[in-house]
Amino acid sequence: MKFLVAQLLYFFKNKESKRNVVFLTQFLVFLASVITIYSVLFHYLMQAEGREFSWITGFYWTLTVMSTLGFGDITFHSDIGLIFTLLVLISGIVLLLIMLPFSFIQFFWAPWLDAQTKARTPRKVSKGTKDHIIITNYCVTTEALVKKLTKLGYDYVLIENDLQAALDLHDNGYKVILGAPDDQKTYERINVHDAALIVVLSDDLTNTNISFTIREINKSVPIVTSCDNINSLDILNFPEKMRVFQFMDMLGIDLAQRTMGGLLGTHIIGQFEDFYIAETLASDTALVGRTIAETQLRQSVGVNIVGIWTRGVYRPPSPGTVIDKSTILLLAGSQESLDKYDQIHSNDIDPGMIEAPVLILGGGRVGKAALEFLEIHGQQYTVVEKNKGAAKRLKNCIVGDAADIKVLKEAGIDHAKSVVITTHNDAMNIYLTFYCRQLNPNIQIISRAEEQHNVSKLHTAGGDLVLSYATMSANAILDQLHPQEASMFSEGLNIFTVQIGQNLVGQSLVTANIREETGCSVIGLKRSGSMVTTPDPKLAFTSKDELVLIGTLEAEALFRKKYKMLN
């Protein structure tokens, strides 16, 4: 009933719908007048023939003739009566069988269906909504972001200006409202003043327009946006509390970092007091081929391996796990111990690997960022780009199609240490990954994926490391909600801190079975202002303790739900 009322209110509030109802009413009045006139004429013409019928019979005859039913129980005998019958019949065909249906459909039924459709898509959030994330448009990053927000229990609302697109999103389970992202009224209807974050992901001009629209009505709500052109940075950074990301450049740099292996050492991704979480690639180091127990990292340098992932699959560490060249190690320890790790394992690097070139397939925005990073760090590289115009602006570039074996041979696929695939077409990236693996089984293949669901396909095709643009950008945005927490975008792994809840007070790691129950691993315990990186499994938790945990998004969501932890 409420839905019907909402439809009626929307229908009759719309100015065009009101005009349509007026037009339809006018036509129905005209039609009723014609029927009345014909009924009166029928009465008098029948009297002229010497027959008497009631007024109701006149309406009955008129309607049966105009609707072409023509029962034949009442007929004229005179010529003028028959001519009148033909006139009523023809006008009935035009008015009742043609004009009435089309007028009804055009002026009432179609607008009514449109009102029903529009009423399905909300135009405002419920009263009292707060601490929600507002997303101004739908894209691959939005899809990945919404999945993460949903799993972690964050409330969000997605703005869509196109009705059909909004309906499709609504039918697919998204919390969407219909509205223009550059209209102040839209943000007033979705409680912008109580929002935790606004995400603006479009082109630079649209991002600027939307950002300044928001700032006109709210000066303090944090805004996260993207930037394609470096010249737009100054403009987008102008409004207060703006965080601008150049996601394409970030992706290119991250791809290039993976080719450097142990050359760059550890990369700190999280800090908790004097306790650091870092990731490092095992490739090009003496760790490759050893088990975790054989590395003796805790004894030799004082760092703990708290997680590993290989080809997109995260696994908790176990003593018997073998490290290969595509393994990424997650290390926990002090800055001093991490520096010691870097110092020792930088000596493991084979000088020949430093000189071996990196092959970059694609010289677009991502490829250009990758080669610039390699150039800064003195790494040799060769670029393959089929666009002659783009190739002229690049160093060490071979013009040609990367799918051509002659081009790849010329670029050095046989002796390159790594190949970075940077095109924005996932199908092409899958093809090139498989092709390069066939040409050089020992080469390290690092590929870009535009969408998260293609990551596993690229691993299957032979990729050693796959970095998803959608996941990377979504995690970068998510990190703005909890800057103190760390997230590795490659595999959706999070490192997060929580205050001990009442249902954990008095328990220990042994009795709580946190890893078995949720899939999260405790990697640190903060007590009395100090961090314990290897807490005693039998140590009882107190209400003042904080846990540092590592796990996938699903595991984190399960942990928070089970132990009733707030985000």
Q: What is the mean pLDDT of residues 18-24?
A: 81
**pLDDT value for 223:** 92
Q: What is the mean pLDDT of residues 370-398?
A: 90
**pLDDT value for 438:** 94
* Among 3-17, 100-114, 154-168, the range of highest mean pLDDT: 154-168
**pLDDT value for 476:** 86
CATH fold for the domain made of 133-245? Rossmann fold (3.40.50)
Q: What is the mean pLDDT of residues 401-430?
A: 92
- Judged against a pLDDT cut of 60, whether residue 347 lies above it is answered with no
Contact 364, 424 (CB under 8 A): yes
- Judged against a pLDDT cut of 90, whether residue 399 lies above it is answered with yes
Q: Strand order of the sheet with strand 223-226?
A: 176-178, 156-160, 133-135, 197-200, 223-226, 242-245
CATH, domain 2-120, list 1.20.58.220, 1.20.1090.10, 3.40.50.970, 1.10.287.70: 1.10.287.70
Q: What is the mean pLDDT of residues 214-235?
A: 85
Q: What percent of the chain has pLDDT over 70?
A: 88
Q: What is the mean pLDDT of residues 545-567?
A: 78
**pLDDT value for 115:** 66
Q: What percent of the chain has pLDDT over 90?
A: 31
**pLDDT value for 231:** 73
Contact 243, 224 (CB under 8 A): yes
Same fold, 133-245 and 248-470: yes
Q: Per the structure block, which two tokens stand in for 546?
A: 């904080």
**pLDDT value for 565:** 65
Q: Give tens-digit pLDDT for 264-295.
A: 677 776 666 677 788 787 877 788 888 888 88
Q: Give tens-digit pLDDT for 109-162.
A: 777 767 666 666 788 888 888 999 999 999 999 998 998 888 778 899 999 998
Q: What is the three-class DSSP state of 153?
A: coil
CATH fold for the domain made of 492-562? Alpha-Beta Plaits (3.30.70)
- Judged against a pLDDT cut of 80, whether residue 211 lies above it is answered with yes
Q: What is the DSSP pairing of strand 176-178 with strand 156-160? A: parallel
**pLDDT value for 400:** 93
Higher-scoring residue by pLDDT: 201, 493: 201
Q: What is the mean pLDDT of residues 363-391?
A: 91
Least confident of 381-390, 431-440, 511-520: 511-520
Q: What is the mean pLDDT of residues 35-53?
A: 92
Sketch the domain layout of the chain as residue ranges: 2-120, 133-245, 248-470, 492-562
Q: What is the mean pLDDT of residues 174-185?
A: 92
| Strand partners of residue 385 | 399
Q: How many CB atoms lie within 10 A of CB 90?
A: 11
- Judged against a pLDDT cut of 80, whether residue 390 lies above it is answered with yes
Rounded Cα gap, residues 165 and 174, in angstroms = 11
CATH number of 248-470: 3.40.50.720
Q: Strand order of the sheet with strand 304-310?
A: 267-272, 275-281, 327-333, 304-310, 313-315
Q: How confident is the model at residue 381 (pLDDT cuts 50, 70, 90)?
A: very high
The radius of gyration of the chain's CA atoms, rounded to the nearest angstrom, is: 35
- Judged against a pLDDT cut of 50, whether residue 484 lies above it is answered with yes
375 contacts: CB under 8 Å, gap ≥ 6: 381, 395
| Amino acid at the residue 327 | T
For 301-354, the DSSP string reads TS-EEEEEEETTEEE---TTPBP-TTEEEEEEE-HHHHHHHHHHHGGG--HHHH
- Judged against a pLDDT cut of 70, whether residue 300 lies above it is answered with yes
Q: How confident is the model at residue 29 (pLDDT cuts 50, 70, 90)?
A: very high
- Judged against a pLDDT cut of 50, whether residue 490 lies above it is answered with no
pTM of the model: 0.70
Q: What is the mean pLDDT of residues 338-344?
A: 83
**pLDDT value for 489:** 41
**pLDDT value for 342:** 82
